[in-house]
Copies of this chain bind each other. A is one copy, B any other.
Amino acid sequence: MLASQGYDLLSYRLANADQRRDFFSSMPVKRNADAVIISSFDISETERRTLEQLGMPVIGVNTIGLTEQRDMISIGVDEIIAMRQTVHQLAGLGHRNIAFICKQQDSNGFIWEADQRIEGFRLGMAAEGLNLPDGYIIAVQDNEFAGAEALSSLLALSPRPTAVCCISDENAIPLVHALRSYGFRVPEDISVIGFDDWPMAQALNISTVRHDPRSYGALAADAAIRLSRGEILTESCIVVPTTLMLRGTTGPAPRD
């Protein structure tokens, strides 16, 4: 998209707090760019002001904290609505005891857009009139033991959940594997639903929430080009749709 219009893409990966601070402190004076695209993490008030002072368009892709400013536009999924729909669907299948699996908080202090899914889950449970007992939101490590860790946490819960929402397919896939390895039937004994619709989720027949990162990459590139040419966009926020993909890991709640 950018390449076909003659633009280059400079990539900066901010993997920790130091890199983040360096980037924001050196950015305004560093070079001429036509636009800045920020992806997936929250922006602090100070960082937002730094971006404003650049005098160049800023495009947030799944970025929390961009406010309505001229030359700033935010693109992404509405995580809250997506999770509310997911919980609503599971409640419609008769599930009353629904747990949520997410990754442990980022040790680098980043707050990721996906963290909003937790809030969406809470709101969804409340909207359906369902209890959310202590321990039903389970944070697991981001490593190869995540599936086993989630499984043992789930088995310790009372009442035993009949459905589990996962913050990502990355969590859902190992959990389904761990459940089946221990003799649980998915979805007959327990339903599992992920988020993202990775190709691997499709290959393994995992229920999930589809969104299309490529589409908002393209929207971001388009907005960057138009804003840098001086166009004024009518929207400050573009919400891209999500779709529930109910596959082989979700089904009706088991009867007592």
Chain B nearest Cβ from A91, distance in angstroms: 28
- Tell me whether B203 and A147 are in contact (CB under 8 A): yes
Residue A10 is within 8 A (CB to CB) of chain B in the complex: yes
Q: Of B13, B174, B202, which one neighbours A204 at CB under 8 angstroms?
A: B174
Kindly provide the distance from the CB of A57 to the nearest chain B CB, expressed in whole angstroms.
Answer: 19
Partner of A9, one of B3, B11, B200: B11
- Whether A10 touches B9, Cβ cut-off 8 Å, given contacts A173-B200, A202-B144, is yes
Residue on B nearest A175 in the bound complex, by CB: B203
Within 8 Å CB of A170, what residues of B? 199-200
Counting CB contacts under 8 A, is A12 at the interface? yes
Asked if B146 and A203 sit within 8 Å, CB to CB, the answer is yes
Question: In A1-54, which residues have CB < 8 Å from any B CB?
Answer: 3, 8-13, 19, 31
Q: B8 to A10, Cβ gap below 8 A?
A: yes
A8 to B10, CA, bound (A): 7
A181 to chain B, nearest CB (A): 8
